[in-house]
Structure 1
């Protein structure tokens, strides 16, 4: 099994354009053994068919995958994304009611209000940063309101989550960020216990199902997950989607002329530049074989959603943008029992975001050459650090 493609990974050149490396992996070593800069060894699954199988494979344990962070993140890994059945089933049942399609649709009016306010603030300048001025603000404000978290705290937990999602390549700040985040969440939960409100966090504290409820660590971990996943993925969905349009004038023009294509465009943005680069780690509980390669028991497994969704064996002409791509069953939200609980909310926010940004700023263009944009380091999140634009 060749190791050549992995020698190009974990550099800024790779973060800025990982697709050629992933294409080489799909061709040469579709299940690729490599070592992260932190020293963790893992097996990276890169083809669509293998990735879809692995995402739903009960022989791969999420609880085992979470153990690599045991020293610093153990108190924050009791959530459903780091657990297997039956614990996963129980935890998902206790929180799923808050994220049904019907409950999310009830948020539409408030998301539209928040988006309109951000657009109004952007109108005062000729130049803006789509990331800082809009893509970060919208999902953070939504998840803060949903959970009942003070808006003034958002800068702090945005900093903490940024450190934690980059921890796969730089762990230097992880212990301090994890400790600070944990202390903040425990204090917040204590305050909500003492003074409940009409918000999701108060609801999670009170939630029971046939006498079952979340214990303290499960509650802390669940709020951590909702804050992390509730804004990081949508930030990069909006940012990556706008980057896609601003670097492809024909598709940009077509979406301006026909906004009815926005829901399908959101799915294509998710496929083309997945905001989640790799699914969170799993560990093989027994030998498993994908793509003719056997991963031994105990091996850490990472599944590249970004690579899988560019697999030409599944998606014709995968590097192109097709705003009406048929059968677009991308893996950006995962697959199987760990399929993203917040997918309906992310889709709602993204559809409103593209509708409003395109309508308000039809002549928006990049303020710097695409080659000057810097993409975030790490194997978990895929997105630009900034997206400066002229608003026109």
Structure 2
């Protein structure tokens, strides 16, 4: 009997452990891809095996173009016309726009940002250290850090940074359908439009200024396209990193043996960051594509116009790719994980995200070697239904826990 004649399992799947994938993924990896039902009714093929996900993400026959009506959707399209992000385009269109930003995210360029990131981290740590009693690591550290790094990246004037940070935090913490979120998006959209226009008129030594000077001035990029790039960097560079910082700290606190190794040898932080990226895979709902031709994935025929859904979380817990994948092992070589995606659409800012996480963890553990949870784990509230997984609040003691 065909899948469409059966009651398909719903996606996203429920978790039974906040720090583990839904149990169904392990069962589904044992067979070929299967269809699932999305909230809006689409029925894509779900890929859960690491090898299948990597191969399919690199397959040009699977389109990411959001203008294709056959592309599976997790949420309704926003009303009215909107400029499509280049991440939702296919090559060659995608490649042309992506290459304009690629020089801004080389390892050399990201390393040039290290002193500024470290300075921001040190300031946030000093502010937390001055607090008497427990602090919320989300509010005080993991949310503001990526927002302030984005300010540095885009060249947001220092005087405007509190406004920028405030609106980003609203978007990251308030219910997605809230009028407050819509207002914050509107405020930031207007601000980015004005900031971009200012950079076009007087380019500075920041990302928007350099791209404006090189491509807008030459007529290869228009104002609206540059604004769309700024919006993409704002969203992509903030939510996932903010949630990863908080979830990484929480996960280490829940794995004291791994935390002890890291405290004993801070040189393990880069390895630990990749293992935490694999283990947590905070982009929990994965990525969607639509087939433009018939193809086979993992022994399953995928017909042209069929939707495909990639579970990065499931792939990163595949025992065929990572031995004892359900365990956190900071000494593991996890670099083949797909937390940043794979192929042509792989996360452009992955080097920046890694550096932010490395500096954040190194500095936190050095400043607060006795950091501990200030509430019972069971009292924490997780973002089970969000695209990006995380925790609402993370109350911690920065020194030794009071008797």
Q: Give TM class, smaller chain.
A: 0.7 to 0.9
When residues 221 and 42 of structure 1 are mapped into structure 2, their CA distance, relative to the original with a 3 A threshold, is: farther
Instruction: Please give the secondary structure, in 1, of the residue aligned with 2:237.
Output: helix
Q: CA deviation at 1:220?
A: 2.1
In structure 2, the residue matched to 1:220 is 227
For normalisation by structure 1, the TM-score amounts to 0.88
Unaligned runs of 5+ in 1: none
After alignment, is 186-195 or 66-75 more displaced? 66-75
224-233 vs 61-70, which moves further = 61-70
Q: 1:224/1:15 Cα in 2 relative to 1: closer, same or farther (>3 Å)?
A: farther
Deviation, 1:211, is: 4.5
Mean Cα displacement is larger for which, 369-378 or 210-219?
210-219
What is the SS of the residue equivalent to 2:375?
Answer: coil
Q: 1:66 to 1:147 in 2, by over 3 A?
A: farther
SS in 1 for 2:287: coil
Q: Counterpart of 2:348 in 1: which secondary structure?
A: coil
If the length of structure 2 is used for normalisation, what is the TM-score?
Answer: 0.85
Residue 325 of structure 1 corresponds to which residue in structure 2?
Answer: 332
Q: Which residue of 1 aligns with 2:26?
A: 23
Q: In the alignment, what sits opposite 2:45?
A: 43
CA shift, 1:309, in A, is 0.4
Is the partner of 2:60 in helix, strand or coil? coil
Would you say the 8 A contact 1:130–1:386 is kept in 2? Answer: yes
Could you say what secondary structure the match of 2:9 adopts?
helix
- The count of aligned residue pairs is 386
Aligned to 1:92: 98
1:126-205 equivalences in 2 (<5 Å): 126-149=133-156, 150-151=160-161, 152-160=163-171, 182-205=189-212
Q: Which of 355, 358, 370 is the aligned partner of 2:365?
A: 358
Which shows bigger deviation, 315-324 or 289-298? Answer: 289-298
Flag the 1:327–1:13 CA change in 2: closer, same or farther, 3 A: closer
Moved more, 191-200 or 288-297: 191-200
Residues 233-382 of structure 1: pairs in structure 2 closer than 5 A: 233-326=240-333, 328-378=335-385, 380-382=387-389
CA-to-partner distance for each residue in 1:144-200, whole Å, 9 max, x for gaps?
Answer: 12102331222223434667xx87xx7999977766654443343234334544322
Q: Is the 8 A contact 1:287 1:295 kept in 2?
A: yes
CA contact (8 A) 1:161 1:228 kept: no
Q: Shift in Å at residue 73 of structure 1?
A: 7.8
Structure of higher CA gyration radius: 2
